[in-house]
Amino acid sequence: MQKEDITQLRTSLLVNEAVIPLNPFLQRYLGNILRAMVHSLDCPGKKIHLQIDREGIKLFSDDFEVPIKKEFTKLLIESTVKGALSPLKGIFWFERINIVTWEE
């Protein structure tokens, strides 16, 4: 498969309302994490949006909220995302996280 045949996965990240620039590797990495989450919850989609804040976690697949019923699942999602973001420069605390990924 040639590189130009591959669908581009784009990802945007806001932490505490600050835009965190992502290189292509990080866009694909974080995007694939989100895609794996919604696939595991049987709600695959082309656009995935995750919000984590003091209110809790909200996960959307193609603009429909994905139900996350078990507390264990919520904790697993939150710790996975925070763990993936922790090595990024300039991020010291996580009050609000918004990640959106989509295919181009």
- Domain extent, residue 32, equals 3-103
Give the count of domains, the chain.
1
Better-predicted residue by pLDDT, 80 or 6: 80
Q: Which two structure tokens, joined as six digits, stand for 10?
A: 């784009």
Q: What is the mean pLDDT of residues 15-33?
A: 94
Is the model's pLDDT at 101 over the cut of 60? yes
Is the model's pLDDT at 102 over the cut of 60? yes
**How far is 93 from 70, CA to CA, in rounded Å?**
25
**How far is 1 from 50, CA to CA, in rounded Å?**
31
66-92 per-position pLDDT tens digit = 999 999 999 999 999 999 998 887 777
Q: What is the mean pLDDT of residues 29-45?
A: 96
3-state class (DSSP) for residue 82:
helix
What does the H/E/C string look like for 64-78? EECCCCCHHHHHHHH
